Amino acid sequence: MLGKIPAARLALIEKIVAHALKNVPRARHALTREFIAGFFRGVAEEDLRAHRPSELAAAALAHLEFGRRRTGNRVLVDIAPPLNPDAPTASHRSLLRVVSPDMPFLVDSIGIVFSQMNIAVHLIVHPVLAVRRDARGTLKTVGVDRRAAHLESWQMFEIDRPGDDAQARDLERRVRASLEDVRHAVSDFRPMLERSRAVANELDRASMPVPKSHASEARALLAWMHDGHFVFLGYRYYRLKRGRSRDALVRDDSTGLGILRGSPKGPRKSPLPIVLTGHLRRQARAPDLLVLTKANTASTVHRGSYLDYVGVKTFDAAGQVSGEHRFLGLWTSSAYHKPPAEIPLLRRKLEAVIAHFGLPPQSHDAKSVVNVIETFPRDELFQTPVNELIASVRGIVNLYERQRVRLFVRRDSFERFYS
């Protein structure tokens, strides 16, 4: 099992195992050895050397006992004393321990919580272990063979100690909530992919007051997102309810998937609709098929940046906006690194900007325009309307000729932020 790790690390792990076996009954030696060997398998030698083998053995045995019984999808989270209670740093350190079903994004998502709470991390141990449990959830065997039926994530973080009991409880609550969001996003990932495909197919059949080229490009963007360029984290349909002086976006909770699954927790069972007036009302009614912006909440899964929001409007028989399919998630690295000419929607923006200036394709000025767009902040390129993009591109090209500092400002179409 340990043949693929460096010999120096293997020797350090053997010392930890030796200390651990002194403190457990002989009947548990096999399970203890398997657990500790797998637990520290991915920890760098310098991190193992930074602590005494006896300290690491004690922490591992405590973690083994902590996770000895777990049933179903239950996630175990707690805060424990530091690795070395006698060290000068002991009063400033704690351990956060987690045992959960293995899923993508677990370590990253817990890291978001630490970042939000300004908690430094001094050691990370996060093996994925193949375990077998009995019907009551009691641990029977442990290994790292990923072909086993049940894979679990066992995570131990040595962190800055919470300031008081209230902060400790808040940390546990946030970690549990984050891992619940991870579970929803991961379990609903396939349904969200299917929903994006269904919405794309609807664009083929629906009668809409937009040019066919717009519908075609929206369909291509959804297909591109579906093909691994967007991390789908949430979906919900919103119905646009029209009024005399104000409209409302009414959420359909039966459609919620991922982090948008169900109603928010709290005493109010039916959440109030989103009231739209003035500019926001006109924006919602505008026959623009796609809405691309940032959500007003940061992601609790994978990356702690503001969620990317992709909306696809629906229309009634009279050609009026009737609602919106809303997808929340994060663009993948490929969306940030591929040339705009290869990305649906962005390629049309590129063509529109070049066409506006009427430049010969091989001219110096045309190449300057293309360079501006290819190096433009990618989030801005997704979100900026063509008319605003043209103004920014013109200003930036002018700066190529004149060495000046200039500020370019764009207001979000929902009037929530400037960039």
Tens of pLDDT, residues 92-107: 999 999 999 999 999 9
- Residue pLDDT, tens place only, 307-362: 999 999 999 999 999 999 999 999 999 899 999 999 999 999 999 999 999 988 88
How much is the pLDDT for 145?
61
Residue 408 lies in a domain: no
Q: Whole-angstrom Cα distance, residue 118 to residue 297?
A: 18
Confidence at 414, pLDDT banded by 50, 70, 90 = confident
- Cβ count near 74 (within 10 Å): 11
Shared domain for 211 and 355, answered yes or no, is: no
Give the count of domains, the chain: 3
Residue 188 DSSP class: T
When pLDDT is averaged across residues 114-143 and rounded to a whole number, the result is 94
Which residue intervals of 74-138 are DSSP H helices? 106-116
- Residue pLDDT, tens place only, 189-223: 999 999 999 999 999 887 889 999 999 999 999 99
Q: Whole-angstrom Cα distance, residue 76 to residue 213?
A: 51
How much is the pLDDT for 124?
97
How much is the pLDDT for 205?
81
Shared domain for 144 and 255, answered yes or no, is: no
Residue 265 lies in a domain: yes
Confidence at 388, pLDDT banded by 50, 70, 90 = very high
How much is the pLDDT for 365?
86
- Residue pLDDT, tens place only, 172-193: 999 999 999 999 999 999 999 9
Q: Whole-prediction pTM value?
A: 0.90
- Residue 350: which domain range? 338-401
What are the b/e assignments for 156-182, b being 16+ CB within 10 Å? bbbbbbbeeeeebeebbebbbebbebb
Residue 412 lies in a domain: no
* Cα dihedral 296, 302, 308, 309 sign: negative
Which range scores top for mean pLDDT: 62-66, 129-133, 330-334, 412-416? Answer: 62-66
255 pLDDT higher than 90: yes
Residue 84 lies in a domain: yes
- Cβ count near 135 (within 10 Å): 6
When pLDDT is averaged across residues 4-13 and rounded to a whole number, the result is 92
Q: Whole-angstrom Cα distance, residue 276 to residue 296?
A: 16
Shared domain for 154 and 107, answered yes or no, is: yes
First to last CA, the chain: 51
- Cβ count near 8 (within 10 Å): 11
Q: What is the residue-wise DSSP string for 207-261?
A: --SS-HHHHHHHHHHHHHIIIIIEEEEEEEEEEEE--SS-EEEEEEEEEEEETT-
How much is the pLDDT for 100?
97
Distances (CA, A) of 24 to 14, 17, 94, 150, 301: 16, 11, 24, 25, 38
14 pLDDT higher than 50: yes
When pLDDT is averaged across residues 235-261 and rounded to a whole number, the result is 95
Pair 33, 144: CB distance under 8 Å = no
Shared domain for 91 and 219, answered yes or no, is: no
Higher pLDDT, 9 or 85: 9
Shared domain for 203 and 250, answered yes or no, is: yes
Confidence at 147, pLDDT banded by 50, 70, 90 = low
Distances (CA, A) of 128 to 102, 152, 158, 196: 7, 6, 18, 31
Beta strands in 161-224, from DSSP E residues, in sequence order:
none
Mean confidence (pLDDT) of the chain = 92
Q: Among the three residues 334, 351, 385, which one is the final residue of a domain in this structure?
A: 334
How much is the pLDDT for 148?
58
Percentage of the residues of the chain whose pLDDT score is greater than 70: 96
Residue 387 lies in a domain: yes
Residue 389 lies in a domain: yes
Q: Whole-angstrom Cα distance, residue 126 to residue 59?
A: 13
Write the CB contacts of 151 (distance below 8 Å, at least 6 apart in sequence): 101, 102, 128, 129, 130, 131
- Cβ count near 130 (within 10 Å): 19
How much is the pLDDT for 3?
55
Shared domain for 160 and 13, answered yes or no, is: yes
Distances (CA, A) of 247 to 173, 235, 244, 274, 337: 36, 22, 8, 8, 39
> For residue 48, with 0-12 CB atoms within 10 Å meaning exposed, 13-18 middle and 19 or more buried, which class applies?
buried
Shared domain for 225 and 144, answered yes or no, is: no
Shared domain for 146 and 41, answered yes or no, is: yes
Q: Which of 104, 263, 96 is nearest to 182 (CA)?
A: 104
Shared domain for 173 and 150, answered yes or no, is: yes
How much is the pLDDT for 94?
96
- Residue pLDDT, tens place only, 261-308: 975 554 445 567 889 999 899 999 999 999 999 998 999 999 999 999
Q: Among the three residues 187, 214, 233, which one is the final residue of a domain in this structure?
A: 187
Shared domain for 173 and 204, answered yes or no, is: no
Confidence at 144, pLDDT banded by 50, 70, 90 = low
Shared domain for 95 and 16, answered yes or no, is: yes
Phi-psi region of 120 (alpha: psi -120 to 50; beta: other; left: phi over 0): beta
How much is the pLDDT for 383?
94
Q: What is the CATH number of the domain that holds 105?
A: 3.30.70.260
Shared domain for 379 and 365, answered yes or no, is: yes
Residue 417 lies in a domain: no
Residue 285 lies in a domain: yes
